[in-house]
Amino acid sequence: MGVKKRISGCVATANAVKLADVDVICSYPIRPYTGIMSELARMVADGELDAEFVHGEGEHGQLSVVYGASAAGARTFTGSSGVGVTYAMEVYSPISGERLPVQMAIADRTLDPPGDFGSEQTDALCCRDQGWIQGWAATPQEALDNTLMYYRIGEDPRVLLPQYACQDGYFVSHILGEVDIPDAAQVKEFLPPYKNHHVLDPRKPQIIGAQMEPKMGPGMQYQRYLAIEGARKVIEEVHEEFGQIFGRKYAPWVEEFMTDDAEVAIFMQGGHSTTCKTVVKRLRNLGEKVGLVRLRTFRPFPTEQVREALSKFKAVGVVDNSVNFGISGGAGVLLTEARTALYGLGDKVSTVGFVGGLGGEMITHEEFYKMFQILKEVAKAGKAERQSYWLPYEL
């Protein structure tokens, strides 16, 4: 049986990495994800975890170290935040291109400027199209559970893709929550040792990452596309099995909160959804038909599931906790993805974008009330007056 502890998202993630019996870890300090690595360093020093703990020379080095280690057959872990995530950009595509199921934790953080340490999903979303599985945890418990599920999904021979296990900086990474740390034997049953068929082993020489002539490239890209599309089935299976073994049942794609008979809803991902839930509950107490749809897996994007979830509302407010300057709709990538998912439904569902919580600011209860107020007006009018609002300046 597992043990229950009050721990942060960082410590929860470190516990999952230990349970996964990772072989090679590569660190580099940057707030707020650093806490994961300090906890892992302690576990290695105290003999709780047998792993090579490599001090990377930067985030680019971190991703390069785990690229090599994974190609040699090891289970690997790394992580970063903010500009560290973007500094490593070159290496993300080679990792997914060579089909190496590396895992990277991202405790998200704003890019520079402004250079504050605040939570914001821009860093991780910059890397969204690199062929990695990606999703956000909203609680420390979910951070731990996602870490285990992502290894299982990424290492599945039908997938073989790396994973960004994201959690909001501070709001999840540094706030304590009650976490059920599962039993090692149960984890072993759920997550068998990593076995890959294309490893660097002189007894079976293989060439990994050869250059190709232009006409050979598209076939390889198509395989990577098939892998991430094929991951959809595996993601569902793994969530199902996780629930059976550990008793925690997560929706693989979208978590719906008080959406029965709701006329308007917020669509978002990450830790700010916890604040939104409180507002939804209070509005429900006042008789308002409001709800929340929280996205759990961002890549592959669950187009069908999001369409199904959102198409039952008259108006949907999409909260983007990232900057995407000049993007269609003027808000963020979540708004464009949601609109794409709803494409073809005409005026049936009106969508409005809200950019909020930038630079680590809270999205306050008051702001969520205002968003729901706008959504009610949009639902009544049957159309939105404007595409999007930047909080707090335009709301």
Partner 1 sequence: MLEEIKSIKKAPIEEYYVPGHRTCAGCGPALQYRLVAKAAGPNTIFIGPTGCMYVANTSYSCGPWAVPWIHAQITNGGAVASGIEAAYKAMIRKHKTDAEFPNIIVMAGDGGSADIGIQALSAAFYRGHNILFIAYDNESYANTGIQTSPTTPYGAWTTFTPAGPVVPEGKKLMPKDLPKIMAHGHPELKYLATASLAYPLDLMNKVRKGLNAQGPAFLYVHAPCPKGWSFPADKTVEIGKLAVETGMFQLYELVDGEYKLTYKPREFRPVAEYIKLQGRFSHLKPEHIEKLQQFANGRLQEVGIEVSVPVQ
- What is the Cα–Cα distance from 93 to 290, expressed in whole angstroms? 40
Tell me if 48 contacts partner 1 by CB under 8 A: no
CB of 12 to partner 1, least distance (A): 23
Residue from 47, 113, 192, 202 in contact with partner 1 (CB under 8 A): 202
Residue from 3, 184, 216, 362 in contact with partner 1 (CB under 8 A): 216
Segment interacting with partner 1 (CB under 8 A) among 200-208, 292-300, 301-309, 316-324? 200-208
Question: How far from chain centre, in Å, is Cα 222?
Answer: 24
Beta bridge partners of 76: 24
Residue from 3, 6, 42, 90 in contact with partner 1 (CB under 8 A): 90
**DSSP state, residue 212:** -
Burial class (CB in 10 A: 0-12, 13-18, 19+), 109: buried
Closer CB to partner 1, residue 88 or residue 363?
Answer: 88
CA dihedral 359, 362, 367, 369 (to 10 degrees): 150
CB–CB of 165/146 below 8 Å? yes
Tell me if 193 contacts partner 1 by CB under 8 A: yes
Tell me if 151 contacts partner 1 by CB under 8 A: no
CB of 80 to partner 1, least distance (A): 14
Closer CB to partner 1, residue 95 or residue 137?
Answer: 95
Tell me if 96 contacts partner 1 by CB under 8 A: no
CB–CB of 70/100 below 8 Å? yes
DSSP notation for 16-48: HHHHTT-SEEEE---TTTHHHHHHHHHHHHTTS
Residue from 29, 114, 115, 209 in contact with partner 1 (CB under 8 A): 209
Closer CB to partner 1, residue 19 or residue 306?
Answer: 19
Residue from 13, 64, 81, 273 in contact with partner 1 (CB under 8 A): 64
- DSSP H or E run through 318: strand 315-320
Tell me if 86 contacts partner 1 by CB under 8 A: no
Type of residue found at 176: L
Checking phi first, is residue 144 left (phi over 0); if not, alpha (psi -120 to 50) or beta?
A: alpha
Beta bridge partners of 353: 318, 388
In Å, what is the CA distance from 81 to each residue of 164, 194, 333, 357, 392?
11, 26, 19, 16, 25
Draw the binding track, 8-47, toward partner 1 (x: CB under 8 A; -: no contact).
---------------xx-x---------------------
Residue from 112, 184, 206, 343 in contact with partner 1 (CB under 8 A): 206
Tell me if 200 contacts partner 1 by CB under 8 A: yes
- What is the Cα–Cα distance from 203 to 181, expressed in whole angstroms? 39
- What is the Cα–Cα distance from 128 to 327, expressed in whole angstroms? 15
CB of 84 to partner 1, least distance (A): 15
Tell me if 214 contacts partner 1 by CB under 8 A: no
Handedness of CA 297, 301, 307, 310 (dihedral sign): positive
Tell me if 218 contacts partner 1 by CB under 8 A: no
CB of 221 to partner 1, least distance (A): 13
CB of 204 to partner 1, least distance (A): 8
Tell me if 224 contacts partner 1 by CB under 8 A: no
- Strand, coil or helix: 134: strand
Residue from 32, 35, 56, 302 in contact with partner 1 (CB under 8 A): 56
Residue from 203, 260, 261, 325 in contact with partner 1 (CB under 8 A): 203
Please report, as ranges, the residues that interact with partner 1 according to CB under 8 A: 23-24, 26, 50-52, 54-58, 60-61, 64-74, 76, 90-91, 94, 98, 193, 200-213, 216
